[in-house]
Amino acid sequence: MDDTARSLAGRAFGDPFPWRFLTDLVEVGPRLGGSPGERRAAELVAEALDAAGATPDIHPFDIQRWHRGETTLSVRIPDRDLDRAFVAQALPYSPAGDLAGELVDVGHGTPDDIEAADVAGKVVVADTDSPTGGRYVHRMEKFGHAVDAGASGFVFAHHEPGQLIPTGTLRFGEEAAIPGVGVSYETGEWLREYAAEGTAHLRVDATTEPGTAHNVVGTLGPETDEAVLLVAHLDAHDIAEGALDNGCGITTVVTAARYLTDCDLGCRVVVAGVGCEETGLLGARQLATELPTDDLRAVVNVDGAGRHRDLRALTHGSDAARELAERVVAEAGQPLHVKETPHPYSDHWPFLRRGVPALQLHSQFPDSRERGRGWTHTAADTRDKADPRTLRTHALLTALLVRELTHTSLPRVDTETLRSQLDAADAEPGMRAAGVWPWD
């Protein structure tokens, strides 16, 4: 480590700011995109960036705001005179609906799983896990495949026990085609047992209407045309505190911004907290239309960092980003776990698809899992799961990575190469089902 890095490490060692900021953030309450809580979160981020000297502005933007009402789910088995009610919650952008249909278990909800089942007019039950040895299958893909096969309703069951009811958007920023709800693992087990024997009755109250969300954008460093973008989303699902997803991430960013003020930066650093990631990357998409992306050397998307002890870097197909991340983190004496395959489900995507090299900072699960969200996207995503030491360490490493990127020019991402990498990962069918494949 050089003298500046050692000085920053000493500053970070006992820094009380990250824990204090995370506490203030989660005490705001629900902060789903377009809500009063999301606006207050934006104000907290702006205050923190202002204290760091980043001269921030809050940028409102228009969205289709989704609001969850009451949800009911029951199963009727006439032959047994059985009528059971279960706890369920609507998934964002689920339309309102009142329907009945035969239950059908589609396992992981892959295209093969759904093709093997007769789902037309039925209520499908898919779990949150992905097949062992295969690629991660996103919730939106499972839902899209079910819709394309003619399902009338979608039930998303958590794959881990503990009465954890999952949430997550069904479409990016627009109302979905059929009602969708989340249920716990325990409920999912009952529904699978009742599949092909019982009829599910699903009722969802929900609204989608015009609203306003908020981005916060500030700048550090010299006045140069070129810049590095450091971004994290400040919104969270409205069923929990959102401490891990993405309270830890935005805390990491605003803390790193404080550390970057002590660094010799080679170009501007644009620091942003964006809204509506959870409901469709809407804030990042808006930001990508406002920033001259040709002038961005790289985007560092902090979505997942700060949660677990080891840092994980998703390099999205860039060998140069991987080599830089491995070198900087090794020089700091810390471990780094790397995943290279690109994906479109976080705030780097609107920039990556425009050719900007992307580095997403995440955390390695303590048992080396690469799948599943654990506590996140459930009511268990609370501050007690976070660790002040991890927040400080990841903020320091983020600052060191951004500092290095301001002195480095990474190769631009070639559109055809990106498409080839996604093809190699068998991502196109799922992205098409999710409505996010950018090439016709």
CATH topology of domain 67-206: Glucose Oxidase; domain 1 (3.50.30)
Q: Which amino acid type is present at position 226?
A: E
- Quote the CA–CA distance of 101 and 161 in Å, as a whole number: 26
pLDDT in tens, 372-395: 578 999 999 999 999 999 999 999
Mean pLDDT of 87-114: 97
Strand 336-339 relative to strand 123-127, pairing:
unpaired
pLDDT score of 370 more than 60 = no
**How many whole angstroms separate alpha carbon 439 and alpha carbon 427?**
12
pLDDT, position 317 = 95
| Percent of the chain with pLDDT strictly greater than 70 | 98
Q: Which residues contact 252 (CB under 8 A, 6 or more apart)?
A: 18, 232, 302, 305, 306, 361, 391, 394, 395, 398
Geometric angle at alpha carbon 294, from 337 and 406, rounded to 5°: 50
Q: Which amino acid is at 118?
A: D
pTM for the whole structure: 0.96
The lowest-confidence range among 267-271, 298-302, 367-371 is: 367-371
Measured over the CA atoms of residue 27, residue 273, residue 136 and residue 440, the dihedral's sign is positive
Predicted confidence (pLDDT) per residue in 204-247, tens digit: 999 999 999 999 999 999 999 999 999 999 999 999 999 999 99
CATH fold, domain 3-64+211-424, is: Aminopeptidase (3.40.630)
Domain locations in the chain?
A: 3-64+211-424, 67-206
Q: Do domains 3-64+211-424 and 67-206 have the same CATH topology?
A: no
Percent of the chain with pLDDT over 90: 95
227-233 vs 123-127, strand pairing mode = unpaired
Asked, as a colleague might, if the bond just before 301 is cis with ω within 30 of 0, I would say no
Torsion angle, CA of 48/52/55/60, rounded to 10 degrees?
-20
